[in-house]
């Protein structure tokens, strides 16, 4: 059994392996977890939110390691990435738990036993999860986290126990606790499901067990999903890494009215439930947070506020969206405000793809222009078609991706002006030949597609999802940096081979001889209209000068310190940088 190293680069490799495994595992289990999501609101997005949260943590850690950041900086990046990328109630809670685990590992001394460090990390994570939630409810991921922590502490009390044994004990206890969640929460028992957030936490702990021991927890073959008769609780046995029983359909109705419908605590499916989910990041001092929590608790439920060192992630369900945002304004500076109306998100009953041999669910097909972009879109759940300037995909390739993804509803992100026409032709063919429902979002740049993918919510209605993704893409101001290959006259003046060209929304606006200077010029133009988030996608090394992405991020940090910056390795071969401002 391999011990988890807790110092030096090995520790970072182990953490990187964990977040890689966790991201992949949550991506694979996303639809299953979404289908379990009946509490606190049956909006079918818990799996998606957890996957996006861990994926953001993974990307932040990867970027820190690629920049040769020290151990402390890399751990901080992982925790901050989870905080900034957290989505939904479960994602915000998970970000706090990951932060506590990382902080305890970061404070580990060389003479401490890894088993004790890991047990204390899980214990602090459980404590933090309970503290973050305004009104803790048993039978949720909180109960699963507590059971895992208790088992870890008990196993670590053995002086011969190693870290892998502690993680294994925590993962096993989590699975057992997950099977008990319907006994603790009536809404789960009536639906015949286990808690979605708890299931996601089990996936994470299983990934941690694999990272620390090299073993994969056993997973017996899955049988058909059979609904559990109301109100019989879910049996306490089942797959080692899965829920005890998963229903073929998850009721998406309101409170129990005597007909066996599933209550959705906190949803607007009954007259007493809040109608909106409000989330935002908040720049505020720690002393302002208790007052903020008190104000938000009086406005609604499902309150979670996590963070520290001046940055907080706020989540609450309310009827009065304005009051929730105003509370944040009084506490500090809210940004990245996100509002979701539950009535537009509630999941309609459906059978996941492959269980009945037919099509179901929703998928996204994205045209990606480089290997790094391939990974970004795939990690977000998209089916990827390689394309981009100079080597556009054919309509047959896009059609094959649409029909091969197994979904009945498909959203296509063209991500290039020329690819829009190809995507529309493929969509028309798919609708005519296969009866699929397909929508093409005319994204003209890869960065617009990334922004649209970030707000994709498979739990809401198809039309609403398309509207939100389209609106987000249109609000992205985008630019790029490339190098001229021939003499030409541009809107910014004449250029010669080797000149650096800066583009905004597809038009040339700068001609220069220094890539960094041109990049900062373009960013200055994009930020002239304001913005909170800048995305920098670095091209293939042959197209991008060394450290161009890092220098660009450093310039932004110095000149626009309130703007959040994310740098990705896109690997595209025509543009040294692709830039986006949201």
Rounded to 5°, angle at Cα 13 from 11 and 16:
110
Q: pLDDT category, 230, cuts 50, 70, 90?
A: very low
Tell me the Cα Rg of the chain: 24
Using alpha carbons, list the distances in angstroms from residue 101 to 9, 15, 75, 207, 360: 18, 11, 10, 15, 37
Spatial CB neighbours of 465, under 8 Å, sequence gap ≥ 6: 362, 411, 456, 457, 458
For residue 40, say if its preceding peptide bond is cis, omega within 30 degrees of 0.
yes
Provide the percentage of residues in the chain whose pLDDT is more than 90: 34
- Predicted confidence at residue 41, as pLDDT, reads 67
CA distance 380 to 397: 20
- Residue 107's Cα: distance from chain center in Å? 27
Using alpha carbons, list the distances in angstroms from residue 47 to 136, 466, 529, 562: 20, 20, 35, 31
The answer to whether residue 165 scores a pLDDT higher than 80 is: yes
pLDDT in tens, 249-272: 333 333 333 333 333 333 333 335
CA distance 323 to 332: 14
The answer to whether residue 73 scores a pLDDT higher than 80 is: yes
- Predicted confidence at residue 179, as pLDDT, reads 92
Provide the percentage of residues in the chain whose pLDDT is more than 70: 84
- Predicted confidence at residue 42, as pLDDT, reads 67
- Predicted confidence at residue 479, as pLDDT, reads 94
The answer to whether residue 220 scores a pLDDT higher than 80 is: no
pLDDT in tens, 288-310: 999 998 999 888 888 888 888 88
Among the ranges given (208-222, 316-330, 400-414, 481-495), the one the predictor scored with the smallest mean pLDDT: 208-222
- Predicted confidence at residue 224, as pLDDT, reads 31
Q: pTM of this prediction?
A: 0.55
Using alpha carbons, list the distances in angstroms from residue 411 to 331, 338, 432, 529: 39, 21, 16, 30
The answer to whether residue 4 scores a pLDDT higher than 60 is: no
CA distance 51 to 25: 9
- Predicted confidence at residue 478, as pLDDT, reads 94
Q: pLDDT category, 395, cuts 50, 70, 90?
A: confident
Q: pLDDT category, 390, cuts 50, 70, 90?
A: low
For residue 517, how many other CB atoms are within 10 A of its CB? 14
Q: Are strands 300-308 and 311-318 parallel, antiparallel or unpaired?
A: antiparallel
Measured torsion, CA atoms of residues 479, 538, 416, 362, in degrees rounded to the nearest 10:
-120
pLDDT in tens, 497-521: 999 999 998 899 999 999 999 999 9
Spatial CB neighbours of 228, under 8 Å, sequence gap ≥ 6: 192, 193, 234, 235, 245, 247
CA distance 491 to 508: 6
The SS3 call for residue 252 is coil
The answer to whether residue 430 scores a pLDDT higher than 90 is: no
CA distance 562 to 557: 8
- Predicted confidence at residue 222, as pLDDT, reads 37
- Predicted confidence at residue 564, as pLDDT, reads 87
456, containing H or E segment: none
**Residue whose token pair is 């091209």:** 539
The secondary structure of 171-221, three-state, reads: HHHHHHHHHHHHHHCHHHHHHCCCCHHHHHHHHHHHHHHHHHHCCCCCCCC
Q: pLDDT category, 344, cuts 50, 70, 90?
A: low
Mean pLDDT estimate for the chain: 81
- Predicted confidence at residue 388, as pLDDT, reads 73
Q: Which residues pair with 539 in a beta bridge?
A: none
Q: Average pLDDT for residues 464-474, to the nearest whole number?
A: 88
């Amino acid at each position: 059994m391999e011990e988890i190293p807790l110092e030096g680069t090995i520790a970072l490799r182990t953490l990187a392996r964990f977040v890689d495994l966790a991201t992949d595992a949550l991506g694979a289990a996303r639809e299953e977890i979404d289908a379990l999501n009946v509490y606190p609101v049956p909006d079918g997005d818990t799996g998606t939110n957890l996957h996006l949260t861990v994926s953001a943590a993974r990307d932040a850690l990867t970027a820190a390691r690629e920049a040769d950041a020290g151990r402390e900086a890399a751990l901080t990046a992982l925790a901050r990435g989870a905080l900034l990328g957290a989505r939904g109630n479960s994602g915000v809670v998970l970000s706090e738990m990951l932060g506590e685990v990382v902080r305890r590992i970061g404070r580990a001394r060389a003479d401490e036993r890894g088993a004790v460090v890991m047990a204390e990390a899980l214990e602090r994570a459980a404590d933090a999860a309970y503290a973050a939630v305004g009104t803790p409810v048993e039978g949720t991921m909180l109960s699963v986290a507590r059971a895992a922590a208790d088992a870890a502490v008990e196993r670590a009390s053995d002086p011969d126990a190693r870290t892998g044994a502690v993680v294994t004990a925590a993962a096993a206890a989590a699975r057992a606790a997950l099977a008990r969640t319907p006994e603790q929460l009536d809404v789960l028992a009536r639906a015949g499901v286990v808690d979605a957030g708890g299931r996601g936490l089990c996936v994470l702990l299983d990934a941690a067990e694999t990272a620390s021991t090299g073993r994969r927890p056993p997973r017996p073959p899955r049988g058909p999903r059979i609904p559990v008769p109301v109100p019989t609780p879910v049996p306490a046995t089942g797959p080692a890494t899965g829920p005890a029983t998963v229903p073929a359909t998850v009721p998406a109705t309101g409170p129990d009215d005597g007909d066996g419908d599933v209550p959705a605590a906190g949803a607007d499916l009954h007259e007493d439930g809040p109608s909106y989910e409000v989330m935002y990041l908040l720049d505020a001092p720690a002393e302002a947070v208790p007052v903020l929590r008190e104000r938000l608790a009086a406005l609604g439920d499902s309150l979670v506020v996590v963070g520290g060192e001046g940055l907080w992630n706020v989540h609450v369900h309310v009827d009065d969206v304005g009051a929730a945002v105003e509370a944040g304004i009084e506490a500090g500076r809210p940004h990245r405000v996100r509002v979701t109306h539950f009535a537009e998100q509630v999941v309609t009953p459906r059978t996941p793809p492959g269980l009945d041999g037919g099509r179901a669910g929703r998928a996204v097909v994205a045209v990606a222009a480089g290997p790094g972009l391939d990974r970004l879109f795939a990690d977000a759940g998209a089916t990827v078609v390689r394309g981009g300037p100079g080597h556009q995909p054919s309509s047959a390739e896009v059609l094959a991706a649409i029909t091969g993804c197994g979904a009945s509803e498909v959203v296509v992100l063209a991500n290039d002006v020329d690819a829009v026409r190809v995507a529309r032709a493929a969509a028309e063919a798919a609708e005519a030949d296969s009866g699929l429902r397909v929508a093409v979002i005319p994204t003209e740049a890869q960065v617009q597609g990334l922004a649209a993918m970030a707000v994709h919510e498979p739990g809401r209605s198809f039309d609403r999802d398309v509207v939100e993704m389209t609106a987000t893409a249109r609000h992205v101001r985008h630019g790029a940096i490339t190098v001229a290959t021939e003499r030409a006259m541009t809107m910014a003046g004449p250029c010669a081979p080797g000149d650096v060209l800066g583009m905004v929304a597809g038009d040339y606006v700068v001609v220069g001889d220094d890539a960094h200077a041109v990049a900062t010029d373009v960013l200055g133009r994009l930020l002239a209209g304001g913005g909170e988030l800048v995305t920098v996608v670095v091209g293939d090394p042959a197209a991008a000068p060394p450290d161009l992405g890092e220098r660009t991020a450093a310039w932004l940090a110095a000149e626009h310190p309130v703007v959040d910056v994310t740098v990705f390795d896109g690997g595209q071969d025509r543009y040294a940088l692709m830039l986006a401002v949201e």
